[in-house]
Structure 1
Amino acid sequence: MSSRLTTPPSWMPGFDRMLLREPIELGCYNDRPLSGGTFHSHAFYEIYYFHEGRCTYLIGDSVFALKPGDLLLMNGLTLHCPNVEPGSRYVRSIIHFDPAWVCRELPESARSVLLDPFETLRNHRMTLTGQRREEFERLLEDMNRLRGAEAAFKQERLKLRLQEMLYVIAGWCQSEVQQQDSISDKERHVQHVVSFVEEHYMEDLTLDRIARDMHLTKHYLSSLFKEVTGTTVFKYVYHRRINQAKILLRLHPHMSITDVSRAAGFKHLAHFSRMFKTMVGTAPEHYRKSQGELR
């Protein structure tokens, strides 16, 4: 499966393609207010830890209502965005890292252990409590202290500390990763289709293109997806696009319906409006208005 990140059209507002300046970038206990969420993606991995506040975090079409102690592991490619309740404190720690640099010179078996939670579980939420929470926050504090010190070989020492943190996280995720590793070939193919749609839903998708990327025939892909999920590939694609439209309508009240339609992957506004009303039960304009009234 291709892991190439598609570049969004220049007209898509509220989107940022982040670049990494250092192999490890650490921002701990950041309480800077966030005014309006911005969808972003990146080709590096992210460890996100929520300390305090009221925030929902959107990753693709998943919405996580965060609580203190929540840890998010993200592969970065999926569009993601925090949505902070107005007036609420928002305290978070974020570690961005280049997985190739962090795992350089490690044996393949160690690399697999450290990165499997990001590559197998993709975008995963854990709630840390008790000793786990204490251990993670102790590791985080140690990294933050080193980052602020005048120290020789700082990046190399940060790498060692991050590797220790990744080993701890891998231990916590071991059972989930093993469950994913034990799935059947059919389920794995379907997961690849879902991942492909997640990365490319805003483009002009065809069954030919998806099947070619999966190295499967169209007929086998269609019957396999229906067998495992109970729905068709394109019903899933439209569900993903409509979910994206709902997210944009909620987060960007001034974005035009036409731009929402295009950002969600629809070529024609009329088709988008018809599909939205069929799947949501109301027109996009009415949905946006109702979400505004709930705030």
Structure 2
Amino acid sequence: MRKNDYYLNNNFLEVDYKQSKKITDYDKFNMHLHDFYELFYFLKGDVTYYIEGHAYELKENTLLIMNNRELHKPIFNKNEPYERIIIHFFPWVLSKYDSYNFNLLECFENRKEANHNKIYDKNKKIYSYFKKIIEYAHQKDDTSELMIETLFVQLLILINELFTRKEKIESETIKYNERMLDIIKYINQHINESISLDSLANNFHLNKSYLSHIFKKHAGVSIIRYIRYKKIMSAKRLLLDNNSCSEVCAKLNFGDYSTFFRSFKKEVGISPKDYQEKRSSIERYQVFNE
């Protein structure tokens, strides 16, 4: 791999290669969600990666797969050299391949949230594709864009094959709290309802303070923030399905429109209407250019 950091962003995917001699503020970020899917390939460091209440201890040549419904965050156990590759992509950019009798997004979509996120790249086959993609990104010639897309599709086929064959060793390296996972499952199943700390405490027969403590400890984010994250992510999907802003507010039980508007803008950075118009125009552009 090249010695210098590298970043690529085109109409198909976003590639970010980063190596740090020490952990910087750039490497640290809060628990978050995003619209796109993510491939996180770990090369070096001492990192525990939290995904929806699961804590994955990472070792060299480990791949994490995350869809746009899974909250995640890396925790750096030591301030030592850190190296990783990330690929972000929107699921709809692969719609042109839907006619094939193979689902390129199988490993992202046909599994329980925060389950089987980790694949160990024993023979470095996955890494070889990452390396080739970055090499073509540097060439920037007439064929590089096509080669990057072709390699990425091949990479997803390989990942799905590894995923299907269950070539992973998660059982030995996942830390979890059963009660915590039950709470997360409950929130995700009832996200369209009005959920509060009081209602969760009553449902699980737990003291509110204790519930808040164990949730923050295992999820890396407060329970109220988690609920808001999940509601906003659901709101994004409903907005892209051409529901009006007021309909989305009602379906997700935000209480009133002003609460929905403020929460959405705080997490996303723009208003629900602006998000709907912006994302719709991006999707139309993608379809038009296929």
Distance in structure 2 (CA, Å) of the matches to 1:80 and 1:116: 20
Distance in structure 2 (CA, Å) of the matches to 1:195 and 1:156: 40
* Pairing partner for 2:129 from 132, 139, 145: 139
Please tell me whether the aligned partners of residues 119 and 162 of structure 2 are also in contact (alpha carbons under 8 angstroms). Answer: no
Structure 2 vs 1, CA of residues 50 and 117 (structure 1 numbering), >3 Å: closer, same or farther? same
Give the CA deviation at 1:203.
Answer: 7.6
The residue that corresponds to 2:204 in the other structure is 235
Could you give the per-residue CA deviations for residues 85-114 of structure 1, whole angstroms, max 9, x where no partner exists? 24211111111111211342441522x2x1
Give the CA deviation at 1:43.
Answer: 1.8
**Which 5+ residue runs of structure 1 have no aligned equivalent?**
1-19, 178-190, 207-232, 253-259, 267-295
Distance in structure 2 (CA, Å) of the matches to 1:45 and 1:261: 23
Give the CA deviation at 1:247.
Answer: 4.6
Distance in structure 2 (CA, Å) of the matches to 1:166 and 1:265: 31
Percent of paired sites with the same residue: 19
Matched, 1:245 2:216: yes
Distance in structure 2 (CA, Å) of the matches to 1:167 and 1:98: 17
Deviates more, 1:24-33 or 1:237-246: 237-246
Distance in structure 2 (CA, Å) of the matches to 1:62 and 1:163: 28
Distance in structure 2 (CA, Å) of the matches to 1:85 and 1:202: 36
The residue that corresponds to 1:65 in the other structure is 57
Deviates more, 1:23-32 or 1:67-76: 23-32
Q: CA RMSD in A?
A: 3.9
Give the CA deviation at 1:263.
Answer: 2.8
The residue that corresponds to 2:225 in the other structure is 263
The residue that corresponds to 1:31 in the other structure is 20
Structure 2 vs 1, CA of residues 200 and 28 (structure 1 numbering), >3 Å: closer, same or farther? farther
Matched, 1:117 2:110: no
Structure 2 vs 1, CA of residues 154 and 92 (structure 1 numbering), >3 Å: closer, same or farther? same
Please tell me whether the aligned partners of residues 31 and 92 of structure 1 are also in contact (alpha carbons under 8 angstroms). Answer: no
Give the CA deviation at 1:28.
Answer: 2.5
The residue that corresponds to 2:92 in the other structure is 100
Distance in structure 2 (CA, Å) of the matches to 1:240 and 1:202: 21
Aligned positions, number: 195
The residue that corresponds to 1:152 in the other structure is 142
The TM-score with structure 1 as length reference comes to: 0.55
Could you give the per-residue CA deviations for residues 271-291 of structure 1, whole angstroms, max 9, x where no partner exists? xxxxxxxxxxxxxxxxxxxxx
Give the CA deviation at 1:44.
Answer: 1.3
Structure 2 vs 1, CA of residues 202 and 137 (structure 1 numbering), >3 Å: closer, same or farther? same
Structure 2 vs 1, CA of residues 240 and 30 (structure 1 numbering), >3 Å: closer, same or farther? farther
Structure 2 vs 1, CA of residues 241 and 126 (structure 1 numbering), >3 Å: closer, same or farther? farther
Q: What pairs up with 1:16-27 in 2 under 5 angstroms? A: 22-27=11-16
Distance in structure 1 (CA, Å) of the matches to 2:107 and 2:58: 20
The TM-score with structure 2 as length reference comes to: 0.56
Please tell me whether the aligned partners of residues 57 and 64 of structure 1 are also in contact (alpha carbons under 8 angstroms). Answer: yes
Give the CA deviation at 1:199.
Answer: 8.0
The residue that corresponds to 2:32 in the other structure is 40
Distance in structure 1 (CA, Å) of the matches to 2:212 and 2:193: 10
Distance in structure 1 (CA, Å) of the matches to 2:60 and 2:205: 33
